[in-house]
Amino acid sequence: MSRRRLYLDEGVGERRGVVTLDGRPERLLIRREEDPAVQALGARVAARVRRIERAQGLAFLDLGAGPDAVLNIKPEMGKLHEGQVLDVEIRAEARRGKGAAAHLVGPAVGPPRLLSPAPGLEDQLRACARGTDVETGPPARAMADAAAEEALQTLYPLPGGGSIAVELTRALTAVDVDVGAREGAEAKRVTRAANLEALATAARVLRLKGQGGLVVIDLAGRGHDGQALLAAARAAFAPDNPGVAMGPVSRFGTLELTIPRRTRPVLERLTDEDGTVSAAAAAMDLIRALEREAAADPGGRFEAVCAADAAEAAAAYLEVLHRKFGRRLAIRTDPGLSRTEFEVRPL
């Protein structure tokens, strides 16, 4: 029987929630202080209609902070007009190039603003494994660090041998199954076992990355048992319901499915558009390292040496550390270091 555990890491400027499945990270939820509350999944917002594109059936909504949200116009809504204020709920968070998706609740008045906040991070965690305690402290930090590191990977080993590669494109997410050196007496059984493990691993990894939309899984081998693989896929992706849809295994050995987009993809939290670790993510790592050293040595003075853009992103959070530990921490830049390189040393 699969077991899930919950972790909550309370950091300076950032809170991270992790769900593990049989000891492996399955979900990574990240919330930063600067995140607009009106953009969060489940928030209720008074939004002003900024623009209507009737040909596309879309209304663009000013939420008061962050990018405009998008509302699909339906006949039962009546005639909307620009400047109108609506009560909406955020059903999918904004991602690169796309605003949040909103659901109409009813009319509203007044300026764009938050009407009721989204569920808190701890509530979101508990919804993934009801009745399970949430672990905090050093174990939660270690698990959150491990989850972030794994979310950035492309290759994932399969239990028993083989691997999958998960690669994102503008149109879809591609998952390639490789049997590798997986052992077994009969090639067909080995391939079948690898494909079944690949479906379970792909489902976990895609949840960890927060990746939705169209997914194409290139299964290993030929002559697949389509019904058995579909049954395994439905079970593996069941936690992503409602809204998962999948087609049959094709004659080319691929399985196509769509996963609802709800939260902002984790990779957008951790990387820039070119796939490199973002300055904000690097700054969070640096601040956690400074915090760890300051807590371990209450009288010590420390400095972090890092790249300029990471230092700039960390500056506001350094002030928070000063209030917590006193002004015994500093950040110094070194032009010879890359964004992800830093060193914390005693002063």
Superfamily of domain 42-116: Nucleic acid-binding proteins (2.40.50.140)
Nearest-10 crossing angle of helices 308-325, 279-296: 30
Q: Is there a contact between 264 and 95 (Cβ–Cβ < 8 Å)?
A: yes
pLDDT of 175-225, one tens digit each? 999 998 766 657 788 899 999 999 999 999 999 999 999 999 999 988 888
Burial class (CB in 10 A: 0-12, 13-18, 19+), 284: buried
Spelled out in words, what is the top-level CATH class assigned to the domain 4-35+120-146? alpha beta
**174 Cβ contact partners less than 8 Å away, ≥ 6 residues apart:** 165, 166, 167, 168, 215, 216, 218
Mean pLDDT of 12-40: 96
> What was the pLDDT predicted at 109?
96
* pLDDT attached to residue 190: 87
pLDDT value for 1: 56
Q: Is the pLDDT of residue 50 over 90?
A: yes
Would you say 280 and 239 are in contact if contact means Cβ atoms under 8 Å apart?
Answer: no
One-letter identity of residue 177 = V
230-282 pLDDT, tens digit each: 999 999 999 999 999 999 999 999 999 999 999 999 999 999 998 899 999 99
Domain extents in the chain: 4-35+120-146, 42-116, 152-266, 277-346
Given this model, what pLDDT does residue 184 score? 63
